Amino acid sequence: MATIRPFSRADRDQLTALVNAHIAAVVPGASVSVNALLTQREREPAELIVDPWVVERRTVVAIERDVVVAGAHVQLFADDDRVGESYRGMRAVRWLVARPDAVTAAAELLESLDVNAADGALPAPFVYGVPHTWPHIRALYTDAGFVPSRTEVVLVARIDDLPDAPFTAERSVGPWTWTRLAAGDAYIDLETDFTAGGTLSRFAGWADIGNLVAPDDATRSWLLAQAKDWLRLGGVQRLVAYADPGGETFYVANGFGELVRTERGWVRAPAEPQTSRAG
């Protein structure tokens, strides 16, 4: 039987290695540092809206023979009017990682957490929900009574595989931390630095699409070509896009391939009340 206890600093290297094993199953060659993991345990400054709603954070590990075989980071959200209605009072697993050969210990850890929502949002870009490359985590959630609310397709293209067109778009500062390339009412918003100011160095050369708004596929393809020209100047090598299942056809036709499918919005159905029968 595993020992379930709060995370201690002595666990940091083993837990980071376990986290990186899960990241690498989603994004090739990617990893995060111990400091990046420890920072996420304290705050997530990139989550501008949701992070201020968190009133308690804790990280728990499962130990077998002095080895960290599973770990989870939990967030408790405030229960008041400043919090979005769907988050009020939520007790959520921000992420759960486990060795595939330690699912019993991981199940014990999950059951100890007293949570009603779950995710897999590790401190790395493009890693969220429960990717299909983590079947052991999906099984842990489903066995514990969690169900996802939706599926997303994450796609990636090498910059050189995108369409070509002379660069004529208007460039401006977009919302959040994005750069906007536009022509009239059509535009594409790009996030071009996933290194978090250099702290996530393995994500140099990656960018993603925040918004792609155009009246038709021809204009959308033209915007991708504008993005190609601009991103290549900055040394970006890969562009990531997101789509609902069935909506990825446009991206595949324009040089993208599927990186991963991920299930999001896991919630735990309340236990049905037990009823007694007389007789």
At 77, the amino acid letter reads F
Taking the C-alpha atoms of residue 50 and residue 77, their distance in angstroms, rounded to an integer, is: 9
3-state secondary structure at position 272: coil
Spell out the residues 6+ positions from residue 125 whose beta carbon is closer than 8 angstroms to its own.
Answer: 27, 194, 200, 203, 206, 208, 240
Put simply, whether the predicted model's pTM sits higher than 0.75 gets the answer yes
Query: Which tens digit of pLDDT belongs to each residue from 213-237?
Result: 999 999 999 999 999 999 999 999 9
CB of 3 within 8 A of CB of 10?
no
pLDDT the model gives residue 272: 57
| Domains observed in the chain | 3-147 (3.40.630.30), 154-263 (no CATH)
Spell out the residues 6+ positions from residue 39 whose beta carbon is closer than 8 angstroms to its own.
Answer: 123
pLDDT above 90 for 196? no
Strand-pair partners of 96: 72
Q: Please work out, in degrees rounded to the nearest 5, the angle formed at the alpha carbon of residue 33 by the alpha carbons of 151 and 51.
A: 55
Mean pLDDT of 162-182: 96
Query: How many percent of the chain have pLDDT more than 70?
Result: 96
**Which is it for strands 206-213 and 238-243: parallel, antiparallel or unpaired?**
parallel
pLDDT above 50 for 73? yes
Residue with tokens 């970006």: 236
- Cα 205 → chain centroid: 18
CB of 188 within 8 A of CB of 221?
no
pLDDT above 50 for 277? no
pLDDT above 50 for 20? yes
Q: How far is CA 69 from CA 37, 170, 239, 262, 271, in A?
A: 17, 51, 34, 23, 28
Mean pLDDT of 250-267: 98
Mean pLDDT of 189-206: 91
